[in-house]
Amino acid sequence: MRRAILLLGILGAIAVSATSLLAQQRTRPYGERSIAPEQPTKGAPLRVGGDVRQPRKTKNVNPICPDSARRVGVHGAVTVEFTIDTGGKVTDARIVRSMPPFDDAALTAVKQWQYEPTVLHGTAIPVLLTAVVRFPSRL
């Protein structure tokens, strides 16, 4: 009987503590925000959306499938994230989703792509894009 009462007391204390903790998380002091809005820093690339329009590609270079992958009939895709600078050139290309036989070929192709500069409020801005570079089984 004593154990049951002790156990009930402990469980009650845990429940009260959890409820108190949740209440503290819901109420914040005046003026405090839970998540501060992210302000873009000057010159930092922006993602497409809202007033930032999808840039138009002016030069496309198709990837060259590696011979080793072509011989065995492997196909796949590599996801690449890159920045388009204010002149429309691709910079800072990096692999986001890898497929090792194709990574180098995907980066080589993407780095040669060119775009019309993206303009926001009359000023050219850098834009951050993500592209999927596909390697079909037959080229």
Distance CA 62, CA 136 (A): 12
Residue range of the domain that includes 75:
46-135
The reported pLDDT for the residue numbered 9 is 53
Residue 33: inside a domain, yes or no?
no
Q: Note whether 118 and 96 are within 8 A (CB).
A: no
Q: Is residue 126 part of a domain?
A: yes
**Could you read off the pLDDT tens digit of each residue along the chain, which spans 139 residues?**
555 554 445 545 454 444 454 444 444 344 444 333 344 556 788 898 888 899 999 999 999 999 988 898 899 999 999 999 999 999 999 999 999 999 999 999 999 999 999 999 999 999 999 999 999 876 4
User: Does 68 map to a domain?
Assistant: yes
Q: Which amino acid is at 72?
A: V
In a domain, 72, yes or no: yes
Number of domains in the chain: 1
pTM of this prediction? 0.67
> In this structure, is residue 9 part of a structural domain?
no
State the DSSP H helix or E strand holding residue 17, giving kind and residue range, or none if neither.
helix 2-26
